[in-house]
Amino acid sequence: MKFKLPIGKAPAAYAGLVQAIVALVAVYVPNLPTELVLGLIAGATGLSFGAQKAENTKTVLALYADPEDE
CA-wise closest residue to 11 among 41, 49, 39? 49
For the chain, the residue count is 70
DSSP assigned state of 7: S
Per-residue pLDDT band at 1 (split at 50, 70, 90): low
Give residue-wise pLDDT tens across range 6-54.
Answer: 556 666 777 778 788 888 888 898 888 888 888 888 888 887 888 788 8
Sign of CA dihedral 18, 13, 57, 8: positive
Domain boundaries, the chain: 31-64
